[in-house]
Amino acid sequence: MPTPLSCCIIAKNEADRIGATIASVIDLVDEVVVVDSGSTDDTVAVAEAAGARVIFNAWPGYGPQKRFSEDAAQHDWILHLDADEVVTPTLRDEIKALMAAGPQLRGYRFRINDIYPRRSKPRLWGDMYNLVRLYDRRAMRFSDSLVHDRVVTGDHEIGQLRGAVHHFSMRSWGHLRQKLNAYVDYQSKVMKKPLWVICARLPFEYPLVFIRYYLLRRHFTGGLDGVYSSHLAAEARFNRLLKMLQVRTSAGGAAAQ
C-alpha cells in the first residue's frame, strides 16, 4: 500500500487562491487539512468545496500555527503548502511515485518558485527557495518560532526532489508591499536584537539586501519587475530595522520615566 500522506495548509483570507492550491494535490494526498485563523472572506467555503477539512485556530504565530496543522493531520507523512502555492505536475508525479514505493528518507526538499504579478510562470533561474516541505512528523517538525516557519530536520539526511511549486504570493505589487509591511510590523514587535546591532546595520541594510536579491537571488532576469521586487524586499528589511529601533527607543524612554 502507498504511504498515506496528509497535506497541511494554513490560511486567512485566501478565497481567491486556495482553491488552486487544493486542486493541485487533491488527487495526490489522502487528506487536505486547512487551518484557518479567522478569514472574513469565503476561504472556508472554497476550501471545503474543494475537498479540504477546515479547522479554526486563532493565530498563535507562524511556527505554532504550522505545528497545530501537523497535529491535526491524520497521517505522519506531511506535505506542507502555503495557501498561495500550486504543486506542478512534475512534482506531483514525483511525490506520487515516492509515496507508492515508500520513502527511504525522513524528509525531502523541493524548490519553491516565486511568480511575479500578472505572470503565470517563474522567471528564468527564478527558483527562490529550496525547503523541506515533505517529511515524517515523527522525525521532524516545524520550528515553534513566532516569525520563522522552517522544518527543524536535526541530523536526518534530506532528499532532493526535482519538481517545484509555483508560489503566487503577489496579487499585485501593492499587495506585496502591504504583505511585507504587515510582516515587518509583526517581526519588529517579537524579534530581539541589541541596539548596537540595529544601529550598525541600518545604513547598509537597504543596499546590501537589494544586491542580495537582485544579483544572488537572480532577480536581474526579471527585467523591471526584478528591479522593483528587489527594491520592495530591501525597503521592507530597512523598515524592519527602523521599527525595531523605534520599539527599543520607545521602551527605553518609558523605562526612564
pLDDT tens digits, 110-154: 999 999 998 989 998 876 789 999 999 999 999 999 887 899 999
- Going by pLDDT thresholds of 50, 70 and 90, the confidence category of residue 251 is low
Helix H or strand E segment including 112: strand 107-114
Residue percentage of the chain with pLDDT more than 90 = 78
Among 167, 202, 224, which residue terminates a domain? 167
- C-alpha span between 151 and 131 (Å, rounded): 8
CA end-to-end span of the chain: 67
The mean per-residue pLDDT over the stretch 156-163 comes to: 97
Contact 32, 52 (CB under 8 A): yes
Other C-beta atoms lying within 10 Å of the C-beta of residue 49: 11
In tens, the pLDDT along 40-55 reads: 999 999 999 999 999 9
The pLDDT, as a whole number, for residue 67 is 97
Q: Residue 112: which CATH number?
A: 3.90.550.10
In tens, the pLDDT along 52-109 reads: 999 999 999 999 999 999 999 999 999 999 999 999 999 999 999 999 999 999 999 9
**Global pTM?**
0.83
Give me the domain span that covers residue 105. Answer: 5-167
Q: How many domains is the chain built from?
A: 2
- For 102, the grid coordinates are 515508500
| 71 and 179 fall within a common domain | no
